[in-house]
Amino acid sequence: MHLEEKINSAAYAAVETLYGEQMPADRLTVEPTRDNFEGDLTITAFKLARIAQKAPPIIAGELGEYLKEHVAEIAGYNVVKGFLNLTISDRYWLEVFARMRQAGNYGSAPSSGEVRMVEYASPNTNKPLHVGHARNIFLGHSMARILEANGHEVKKVQIINDRGVHICMSMLAWERWGNGETPASSGLKGDKLVGNYYVKFNREYTRQTQLVLEKFEAGNYGRLNEEQTTKAKALQALIRNDEKSAKDKNSAAAALKDLAKTQTDIIGEAQAMLRKWETNDPEVRRLWEMMNRWVYEGFDATYRAMGVDFDTIYYESETYLRGKEEVLKGLEKGVFYQKEDRSVWADLTEDGLDHKLVLRGDGTAVYMTQDIGTAILRFEENPGLMQQIYTVGNEQEYHFKVLFLILEKLGYKMARNNYHLSYGMVELPTGKMKSREGKVADADDLMEEVKEAAASITGTSGVIDEIPEADHEEIFRKIGMGALKYFLLKVDPVKGMMFDPAASVELVGHTGPFIQYSAARIRSILRKYEEKSELKPAENYHGEVNASARELIILLEQFPAIIRESGEKYTPSTLANYAFYVAKQYNRFNNDNHVLHAEIPELGAFRAGLCQLTLEVLTKSLYLLGIEVPERM
């Protein structure tokens, strides 16, 4: 039994004995004492004031006296206002320490027998990966590992958005301006090459849109039908009306621009290409397969560099038809309804949501259609799957709320457990990223930059000279990735974040490399300890535990709870911050507790044991964040 529980039940008994009253089960809490107060554990007595009919400080004193007598581990106590601070005996902390060391796989929970799925990455195939994807990928990958540590069996998946008009944009541009360029001929990574054509397409698209807008301005509405023309004129009037707010004007301008876009030749050609794709036109399909293959090869290289992988990859081109089937089945069952124009809708007004289109009037799939198909396929393919976790940006919150509800209505009760691991946008100091304009922090470039930063800093330290040249590259990579991953994972996912490239390659302060460095130093100490010492780590020590060692032990004891919390809240950031506190506390301990020059051998052994345990916790924490620890750095 944990000491907290033991103290808790003793406190209940105390209240009954002292005040003759039973109290509700959740009335008392035993928590770690704040740093700046003396003591290890704290009970708040304010809540007992009514029951005891006394002032909180008096209650705290009486409670403290009782607990000190009845709980052997309590060595003393002090009272500040209504707070009862308990000091726990060194012997107890040494027992805790021994227990942690003996636990196999310390921190992890036993198997839950549950299967969960985490989806992440899920890029479009027409643009290279940027820092926003990096946040997504690191989050999902880390979450998968954290759930595993919580005892679940985890399947890592991604869905690749490989069909639709946006793919045709790159294809069309390549056909028109590519001159047969290939990754081999140009030396470009496949995803970069395809991305270039997406940018080229959009450049032309923007140009043509501008021309259409100019025609609108001149009163020439071209192919617009009567309804559209009326709408366009109304928007133009609104934009010219000086009584309207700037915000209204901007949105009117955006609406007019959208209208103009539909009138460009180039988008018409892209849509024609999509129709050919849907009817399996061999030439279009060949081009599509070739360009997609280039992209996949490029993505795979990026994933390898990131150190992430997947158990299963789904392609929308293979699941969207399944989605259509499911929608039609749902229509038969009465889950959906059909409008006159044959479009199919879900009525979610009973659940406080809106009406939602699930199939177009012409029978083609929308985003929702595909997601329904994919989700159902996954439940079928994975018997026992009890949860699907989608790592997707927070702009999709409404979409997933609707998706989960629809799945439930279709009879997939497990969808109730589904979770949208939503995260805020990554912003650059220079402003928003726009992939259509090619203004992004490219993921491959970033990884290269952090590696170079790691190399230049590490190169100046003396340690690197003792390491064989051949291993340098690998060490720089680990450090660079540690910096980048930690930078993106330490922030609570729900928050939008500022990505400052200069800060992300920083190796000091609240960073991944700081933690890695602490671990590397422990390794170095332990190597030397094992050479020199006759005692095994932690052997035969029963003496005092000084303040910095005690605080370290208390922190390490929280590890299993932190893993649990991180999993329950779906936030690697909790774990990331914890790892930093551990490293920080270790460094304090390290500063005034010598291992190799200890006062007596047993004390050295104790400290070496504490080093070992700290290393274990740090290494595992970083592992759960997807970060590796170099042997030396």
Q: Which stretch binds RNA (CB under 7 A): 6-14, 222-230, 324-332, 583-591?
A: 583-591
* Torsion on CA atoms 517, 521, 522, 523, rounded to nearest 10: 100
Spatial contact of 11 and 28, defined as CB atoms under 8 Å apart: yes
Is the Cβ of residue 113 or residue 363 nearer to RNA in the bound state? 363
Question: Can you say whether the dihedral through the CA atoms of 110, 113, 114, 116 is positive or negative?
Answer: positive
Q: Which residue type, as a one-letter code, is found at position 630? A: P
Candidates 301, 414, 503, 535; binder of RNA (CB under 7 A) is 503
Spatial separation of the C-alpha atoms in residues 168 and 580, rounded to whole Å: 46
Minimum distance of RNA from residue 480's CB (angstroms): 9
Interface pattern 365-384 for RNA (x via CB under 7 A):
-xx-----------------
Smallest separation, CB 578 to RNA (Å): 9
Nearer to RNA, 68 or 510 (CB): 510
The three-state DSSP-derived secondary structure of 266-299 is: HHHHHHHHHHHHHCCCHHHHHHHHHHHHHHHHHH
Nearer to RNA, 164 or 626 (CB): 164
Q: Is 509 in the site for RNA (CB under 7 A)?
A: yes
CA–CA gap between residue 115 and residue 386 (Å, rounded): 6
Closest separation between CB of residue 557 and RNA, Å? Answer: 16
- Least separation in angstroms between residue 86's CB and RNA is 10
DSSP letter assigned to residue 10: H
The one-letter amino acid at 505: V
> What part of residues 457-486 is at the interface with RNA (CB under 7 A)?
457-458, 461, 463, 479
Distance separating alpha carbons of residues 410 and 333, to the nearest angstrom: 9
Site string for RNA, 199-238 (x = CB under 7 A): ----------------------------------------
Q: For RNA, what does the binding mask look like between residues 131 and 170, x meaning CB under 7 A?
A: ------------------------------x-xxxx----
Three-state SS at 76: strand
Site for RNA in 37-66 (CB under 7 A): 37, 39, 42, 44, 46-47, 49, 56
How far apart are CB 563 and RNA at their closest, in Å? 15
> CB 396 → RNA: shortest distance, Å?
6
Strand ranges for 168-323 from DSSP E = 312-315
Closest residue by Cα to residue 248 from 239, 257, 258, 260: 239
- Give the residue with the Cβ less far from RNA, 304 or 528: 528
Side-chain-side CA neighbours of residue 413 (13 Å) = 1
**At its nearest, how many Å lie between RNA and the CB of residue 47?**
5
Q: Could you tell me how far CA 548 lies from the centroid of its own chain? A: 32
Nearer to RNA, 108 or 396 (CB): 396
**Least CB distance to RNA at residue 257 (A):** 11
Measured from the CB atom, the residue of 313 and 494 that comes closer to RNA is 494
Mark the segment that binds RNA (CB under 7 A) among 67-75, 230-238, 303-311, 590-598: 590-598
Rounded to 5 degrees, what are φ and ψ at 189?
Answer: -65, 140
Q: What do you get for the CA distance between the two ends of the chain, in Å?
A: 40
Given a contact cutoff of 8 angstroms between Cβ atoms, the answer to whether 204 and 198 are in contact is no
The yes or no reply on residue 289 touching RNA (CB under 7 A) is no
Give residues 81-110 in contact with RNA (rule: CB under 7 A).
81-83, 85
Residue 352: count other Cβ atoms within 10 Å of its Cβ: 8
**Does 33 contact RNA by CB under 7 A?**
yes
Tokens at 453, concatenated: 């930063």
Do residues 504 and 487 make contact, with C-beta atoms less than 8 angstroms apart? yes
Q: Which of residues 396-435 bind RNA (CB under 7 A)?
A: 396-399, 424-425, 432
Angle at 507 between CA 504 and CA 510, to 5 degrees: 80
Residue 101 Cα distances to 248, 394, 525, 536, angstroms: 64, 41, 18, 13
Q: How far is CA 428 from CA 128, 415, 435, in A?
A: 17, 35, 13
DSSP-derived secondary structure for 538-571: TTT--S---HHHHHHHHHHHTHHHHHHHHHHTT-
The interface region with RNA, picked from 199-207, 278-286, 494-502, 534-542 by CB under 7 A, is 494-502
The DSSP secondary-structure symbol of 38 reads S
Q: Rounded to an integer, what distance in angstroms lies between the CA atom of residue 211 and that of residue 61?
A: 82
Least spacing, CB of residue 514 vs RNA, in Å: 5
Stretch that binds RNA, among 226-234, 300-308, 536-544, 581-589 (CB under 7 A): 581-589
Cβ-contact 530, 601 below 8 angstroms: no
Query: Considering CB under 7 A, how many residues would be counted as binding RNA?
Result: 93
Nearer to RNA, 239 or 526 (CB): 526
Residue 30 has what DSSP assignment? E
362 binds RNA (CB under 7 A): yes
**Is 524 a residue that touches RNA (CB under 7 A)?**
yes
**Does 240 contact RNA by CB under 7 A?**
no
- The distance of closest approach from Cβ of residue 219 to RNA in the complex, given in angstroms and rounded to an integer, is 25
Phi, psi of 595 (to 5 degrees): -90, -50
Q: Could you say whether residue 285 binds RNA (CB under 7 A)?
A: no
Do residues 359 and 412 touch, judged by C-beta distance below 8 A? Answer: no
Among 405, 580, 613, 625, binds RNA (CB under 7 A): 580
Closer residue to RNA, CB minimum distance, 215 or 632:
632
Applying CB under 7 A, among 1, 20, 36, 332 the residue interacting with RNA is 36
308 vs 516: CA distance, rounded Å: 19
Query: Which residues in the 323-352 window bind RNA by CB under 7 A?
Result: 339, 341, 343
Residue span binding RNA (CB under 7 A) among the ranges 16-24, 215-223, 374-382, 582-590: 582-590
Kindly tell me which residue out of 394, 417, 533, 558 binds RNA, with binding defined by CB under 7 A: 394
> Of 542-561, which residues contact RNA (CB under 7 A)?
none
**What letter represents residue 325's amino acid?**
E
Beta bridge partners of 157: 119, 312
Q: Which is nearer to RNA, 354 or 437 (CB)?
A: 354
